[in-house]
């Protein structure tokens, strides 16, 4: 017998499908119009998607939404945010057993890091959005593909739907952060599960909430080589997604 909870979940999925369709339409408009302001219309839609998916424990949808956030941050040249979103998406995928998706996200992240020079160049010449979208592989989210990706989860069982409640939720993967396997930031009290703590140390060693170092024995690491930080970063205002 189908439980009322599953019926409720299917209703949510329908709404998520409609939201992702709307995101796609705006992405098409973004590419055609070259108007960066459209991103500020897409962002609240993604946030809505995230809120609903998280509340219902629909992690596959949540992961896709974070990937989209990561790619949009990238086309705004906000590399730091993009790396964080992709790290979150990868950790969620790992935590919930979507291994193929986790590998795909790791590949995206790697490709971005290998092309930092190109991204810097594109920023300098203020390249057209369509060009940036292509490089960020945003085409995966156009022409019905985003919706298709979102809808890939054909069958949902009760077991797949886990909702983590309470304040002890990992800041990165949104999963439960309980027991001994957690890190609590001594400065801001943010929770990180054990695996995400390591992922954040590897990424930048910086608390996402208060910026203090997570492993105090190591320095905070920006994504750019240290020598560049002194001369250019101060003068140039970093882009914010
Ligand atoms: Zn975590
Ligand atoms: Zn903190």
Residues 24-48 have pLDDT tens digits of 999 999 999 999 999 999 999 999 9
Residue 166 maps to a domain: no
Which residues, other chains included, contact 172 with Cβ-Cβ below 8 Å and sequence gap of 6+? 87, 88, 91, 192, 193, 196, 199, 200, 208
Q: What separation in Å is there between the alpha carbon of 94 and the centre of ligand 2? A: 23
Residue 198 maps to a domain: no
Q: What separation in Å is there between the alpha carbon of 197 and the centre of ligand 2? A: 12
Q: Crossing angle of helices 4-33/39-56, nearest 10°? A: 160
Q: What separation in Å is there between the alpha carbon of 219 and the centre of ligand 2? A: 15
Q: What separation in Å is there between the alpha carbon of 192 and the centre of ligand 1? A: 5
Residue 240 maps to a domain: no
Residue 21 maps to a domain: yes
Q: What separation in Å is there between the alpha carbon of 196 and the centre of ligand 2? A: 14
Ligand lying nearest the CA atom of residue 190:
2
Q: What separation in Å is there between the alpha carbon of 226 and the centre of ligand 2? A: 22
- Please check the confidence at residue 232 and state whether its pLDDT lies above 70: no
Its domain, for residue 115, covers 4-160
- Judged by DSSP in three states, 206 sits in strand
Least confident interval from 38-42, 96-100, 175-179: 175-179
Task: Note the pTM of the prediction, 2 decimals.
Answer: 0.86
Q: Give the number of domains in the chain.
A: 1
Ligand lying nearest the CA atom of residue 169:
1
Residue 122 maps to a domain: yes
Q: What is the model's pLDDT at position 188?
A: 93
Least confident interval from 3-17, 27-41, 53-67, 214-228: 214-228
Residue 74 maps to a domain: yes
d(CA 198, CA 137): 28
**What percentage of the chain has pLDDT greater than the value 70?**
86
Residue 108 maps to a domain: yes
């Amino acid at each position: 017998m189908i439980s009322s909870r599953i019926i409720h979940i299917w209703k949510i999925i329908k709404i998520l499908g409609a939201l992702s369709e709307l995101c796609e339409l705006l992405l098409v408009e973004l590419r055609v119009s070259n108007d960066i302001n459209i991103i500020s219309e897409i962002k609240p839609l993604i946030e809505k998607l995230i809120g609903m998916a998280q509340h219902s424990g629909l992690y596959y949808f949540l992961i896709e939404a974070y990937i989209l956030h990561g790619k949009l941050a990238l086309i705004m040249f906000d590399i730091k945010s993009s790396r964080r979103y992709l790290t979150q998406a990868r950790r969620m995928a790992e935590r919930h057993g979507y291994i193929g998706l986790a590998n795909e996200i790791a590949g995206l992240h790697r490709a971005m890091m290998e092309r930092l020079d190109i991204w810097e160049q594109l920023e300098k010449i203020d390249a057209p959005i369509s060009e940036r979208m292509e490089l960020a592989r945003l085409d995966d989210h156009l022409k019905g593909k985003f919706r298709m990706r979102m809808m890939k989860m054909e069958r949902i069982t009760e077991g797949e739907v886990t909702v983590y409640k309470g304040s002890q939720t990992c800041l990165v993967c949104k999963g439960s952060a309980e027991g001994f396997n957690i890190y609590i930031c001594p400065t801001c009290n943010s929770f990180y599960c054990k695996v995400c703590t390591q992922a954040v140390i590897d990424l930048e060693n910086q608390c996402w909430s208060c910026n203090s170092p997570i492993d105090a024995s190591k320095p905070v690491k920006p994504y750019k080589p240290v020598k560049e930080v002194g001369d250019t970063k101060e003068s140039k205002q970093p882009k914010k997604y």
